[in-house]
Amino acid sequence: FIVLFFLACAEIVLRTRWRHAIGLLTSFACLGGVRIWYVGGSKADFGYVDTPIRYQDSQLTRILSYLFQHAFYAKLVLLPWHQSWDYSFDALPLVRSMEDLRLFAVIAAYLSIAALAAHGLCIRRQSPGVILGLGLVVIPFVPASNLFFLVGTTIGERLLYPSTVGWSLLAVALASHACTSKRPWQRRRGWTLSAMLVALCIVYTWNCHARMRLWRSKWELFGADARHWGSSAKVLHQFAVELQAAGDLHRALDHYNRSLQIFDDQALTDYCIARILLHLDRFEEARLRFEKILQGHGIGFHDGNDFLWMTDFGYTLVHLGHDREGAYYLQEGLRRMPANCFGWNALGVAQARQGQLEPALQSLSTGLECHAGSASLWNNLALVYAYGNLAKNAGEALQQALALNSSRPAV
């Protein structure tokens, strides 16, 4: 619906047709109102890691940080380099005082826009492309500026697609106007500008090729971003996920910890660390991570995935001998996600240790329905049968375990 506002501005600046402009603005207001009504307003709840500025108590910090984002967007339009798939906290550190030197970038960005606007208005009759191009840069960016709508990302490169079109039109219009001028010095300036635009096109082509190659795989994309954006919590976390999936647990652990050094209250990152510690048989350290998750705000977890930490926490507690508490968390996790074979196995062990043989048999049997090829489940089932003096059933279960994995130490 921003197109309507852009067309209204074009009518006012280029043709001064107020009736057309008022009609377009009215349509824009109606369409905007319908949009806000349909989505339930312009307010959205995004986490601290995604949108840290809105959570700052200082109004000065919020204003200066948003202004610096505008300057960074201008830099991305002019010369995108070392881009990132997610500019999360703390990719762009907050601007907390007027003494921050990054404010010079803000001043330069806004003075450039003001200068181009003044120049475009002066030559709008001879070269309307300049003011139209600048309008295509600025107006589509307004919804992404956090001035009227909350944007769910610190920086979103995808939000710059229309502004990039405007920048292309603006640059070509400036060069074209200068090259066709009657004044020799302006024509020389125009040819110089044209040469610079050719150089920029070469840079854009190379950068596009290099960036698109990174998007071929998550490993290349997240790895490159982790090298260039080592202060972004989500970037480091996501590369650690790739390292963990590749089996490089120690490097993954290092990147997870670096992510927590940037922002410590990330429950999902703590959970991933706990998973690695379980693989490394460091159960007590894993337990401390789960305790930290319980004491935090649960960032990264919701009703659809909270069974993950519950089940793994219960498994950890059972392994450490805390059967009653472990069984509680296992039951909560399995109630949310029953298709968890090792969870039923751990719950059966906890129940058997507490003398609850019938529930233990039920839990282990449910686990076998999930994964009948688990030697561990058959072995534990045999033990529970043996404790219940059901020797025949125990022997049959043990034979199943032997057939599946006779070399397993527990079997």
Residues 179-198 pLDDT 10s: 888 888 888 888 888 999 99
Report yes or no: 249 and 280 within 8 Å, Cβ to Cβ.
yes
pLDDT digits 0-9 by tens, 264-281: 999 999 999 999 999 999
* pLDDT confidence band for 64 (50 / 70 / 90): very high
Residue 208, classified by CB atoms within 10 Å of its CB into exposed (0-12), middle (13-18) or buried (19+), is exposed
Whether residue 252 has pLDDT greater than 90: yes
Which of 381, 389, 397, 392 has the alpha carbon at shortest distance from 344? 381
* pLDDT confidence band for 41 (50 / 70 / 90): low
Could you tell me the CA-to-CA distances from 43 to 35, 54, 78, 147, 148 in Å, in that order?
13, 12, 30, 12, 10
Q: How far apart are CA 97 and CA 272, in angstroms?
A: 36
Find the angle CA(50)-CA(255)-CA(66) to the nearest 5 degrees: 25
Number of H helices, E strands in the chain: 18, 0
Lowest mean pLDDT among 2-6, 135-139, 404-408: 404-408
Taking every pair of C-alpha atoms in the chain, what is the biggest distance, in angstroms? 106
Residue 384, classified by CB atoms within 10 Å of its CB into exposed (0-12), middle (13-18) or buried (19+), is buried
Q: According to the model, what pLDDT value does residue 28 have?
A: 86
pTM of the model: 0.82
Q: According to the model, what pLDDT value does residue 134 have?
A: 94
Task: Please provide the average confidence, as pLDDT, over all residues in the chain.
Answer: 90
Q: According to the model, what pLDDT value does residue 120 have?
A: 92
Output the six-digit token pair for 385.
């049968």
Could you tell me the CA-to-CA distances from 338 to 16, 101, 367, 387 in Å, in that order?
67, 55, 9, 26
* pLDDT confidence band for 44 (50 / 70 / 90): low
pLDDT digits 0-9 by tens, 379-404: 999 999 998 888 998 999 889 888 88
DSSP per-residue string spanning 334-353: HHH----HHHHHHHHHHHHH
- Helix%, strand%, coil% for the chain, nearest 5: 70, 0, 30
Whether residue 6 has pLDDT greater than 80: yes
Could you tell me the CA-to-CA distances from 20 to 8, 61, 134, 243, 310 in Å, in that order?
7, 41, 21, 58, 61
Q: How far apart are CA 10 and CA 132, in angstroms?
A: 7
Q: How far apart are CA 3 and CA 29, in angstroms?
A: 12
Whether residue 411 has pLDDT greater than 70: no
* pLDDT confidence band for 145 (50 / 70 / 90): confident
* pLDDT confidence band for 88 (50 / 70 / 90): confident
Q: How far apart are CA 160 and CA 74, in angstroms?
A: 9
Report yes or no: 349 and 320 within 8 Å, Cβ to Cβ.
no
H-type alpha helices, 280-322 = 283-295, 307-319
Q: How far apart are CA 73 and CA 71, in angstroms?
A: 5
Q: According to the model, what pLDDT value does residue 16 have?
A: 82
Percentage of the chain modeled with pLDDT above 90: 58
Could you tell me the CA-to-CA distances from 71 to 74, 85, 102, 105, 131 in Å, in that order?
5, 19, 9, 6, 20
Q: According to the model, what pLDDT value does residue 45 have?
A: 66
Report yes or no: 394 and 360 within 8 Å, Cβ to Cβ.
no
Three-state DSSP at 2 gives helix
H-type alpha helices, 47-183 = 59-78, 103-122, 128-138, 161-179
